[in-house]
Amino acid sequence: MTDPLLDVIRLLRPRAVFAKSITGAGAWAVRYGEFGHPGFCAMIEGRCRLMVEGEAPAELEAGDFVLLPATPRFTMSSFAPATAVFVDPDRDPAAEGEIRYGRRDGVPDMRQFGGYFVFDAPDAALVVSLLPRLIHIRGVPRLTTMVRLLGEEAVNDEAGRELILERLVEILLIEALRSVRGESTKPGLLRGLADRRIAPALRRMHADMEKPWTVDALARTAGMSRSAFFERFSRTVGVRPMEYLLTWRMAVAKDLLRSGRLALDEVAQRVGYSSASTFSTAFSRSVGVPPGRFTRLGDGTAL
């Protein structure tokens, strides 16, 4: 059976960039500007507070794991009051060695391992919008182990480093996302996959993308009436069924076009369109440029 979560991660093509040991002592606070790239941290010892814009404050303790798929503005601090020091992630270079917050000397009160990576997909933001903004997981030791391995490999100069980092980040993402209790999250892909009625429809959309799906046909896979399915899907996933299908088709189409391995009519067939012209019209309406121009632009960054 097709796994939509694995499909999404493979399409995003994550690759590691930075991982570092971070400690804090005494009273401290840092306020980070919006970054856009996925950020993560694993708490090794101690406690701290995390406040992500638009989310309820979270108290982090040893063994916790946090993933911010798009890293909006956030503040991390000790529980003792402190004036936050602003950090611009786009301008401030990554520090060499361990990053220290608060009191510079003595044994730290808090230790974590954190960093960020990037998604290599041209439309990562569109796919990431289907994931929770803040993922806070407690009681999954494997995630802390994965972060430790990622950090060790990040400073390794041996052959095969980049490939190992890519695989480690993929596994870390899978472990993190499948550890989330989907029914407790905000509307999105994880909540949809946790819904016993909506999950079969999502899996069928991913497994048989070339099929000319309608809301009626998808409702039958869920064993629901059309109106009940439409309302439940929209409420659970956060977008209408055909809107989700179009988003996924266009994401896959971009990936296929960027690879340059298939002719336009083959790409059209792969993503559920009966002809290249029909696909080109839909692609142009959704993306803003025709498929040929998108391919010439390469990664789509000039759109």
Query: Using H for helix, E for strand and C for coil, what is the string for 114-152?
Result: EEEEEECCCCHHHHHCCCCCCEEECCCHHHHHHHHHHHH
Position 14 in a domain = yes
Position 55 in a domain = yes
Q: Are residues 79 and 212 in the same domain?
A: no
Position 303 in a domain = no
Residue 301's pLDDT is what? Answer: 45
Q: Are residues 209 and 103 in the same domain?
A: no
Position 238 in a domain = yes
More confident residue, 175 or 58: 58
Q: Are residues 54 and 133 in the same domain?
A: yes
Domain stop point among 130, 157, 180: 180
267 sits in which H/E element: helix 264-270
More confident residue, 158 or 239: 239
Owning domain of residue 213: 189-297
For residues 256 and 268, give the distance between their C-alpha atoms in angstroms, rounded to a whole number.
10
Q: Are residues 194 and 176 in the same domain?
A: no
Task: Extract the runs of DSSP E, i.e. beta strands, from 139-267.
Answer: none
For 118-129, the pLDDT digits (tens) are 887 766 776 677
29-32/85-87 β-pairing = parallel
- CATH of residue 277's domain is 1.10.10.60
For 270-300, the pLDDT digits (tens) are 999 999 999 999 999 998 999 989 988 765 4
Q: Are residues 11 and 100 in the same domain?
A: yes
> Considering its fold, how many domains does the chain have in total?
2
Position 102 in a domain = yes
Q: Are residues 170 and 201 in the same domain?
A: no
Q: Are residues 57 and 109 in the same domain?
A: yes
Position 154 in a domain = yes
Position 168 in a domain = yes
Please say whether the beta carbons of 113 and 143 come within 8 A: no
Domain stop point among 180, 212, 243: 180
| 25 pLDDT more than 90 | yes
Q: Are residues 149 and 270 in the same domain?
A: no
Q: Are residues 86 and 167 in the same domain?
A: yes
For 83-93, the pLDDT digits (tens) are 999 988 777 65
Q: Are residues 249 and 168 in the same domain?
A: no
pLDDT above 70: percentage of residues in the chain: 92
More confident residue, 166 or 29: 29
Q: How confident is the model at residue 1 (pLDDT cuts 50, 70, 90)?
A: low
Of 183, 208, 170, 164, the C-alpha closest to 2 is 208
Q: Are residues 144 and 117 in the same domain?
A: yes
pLDDT average, residue stretch 113-118: 86
Q: What is the chain's mean pLDDT, rounded? A: 87
| 201 pLDDT more than 60 | yes
Give the three-state DSSP class for 74: strand
Position 302 in a domain = no
Q: Are residues 170 and 194 in the same domain?
A: no
User: 57-61, 128-132, 254-258: lowest mean pLDDT where?
Assistant: 128-132
Pinpoint the alpha helices (H) of 2-103. 4-12
Domain stop point among 114, 148, 180: 180
pLDDT average, residue stretch 56-73: 92
- CATH of residue 154's domain is 2.60.120.280
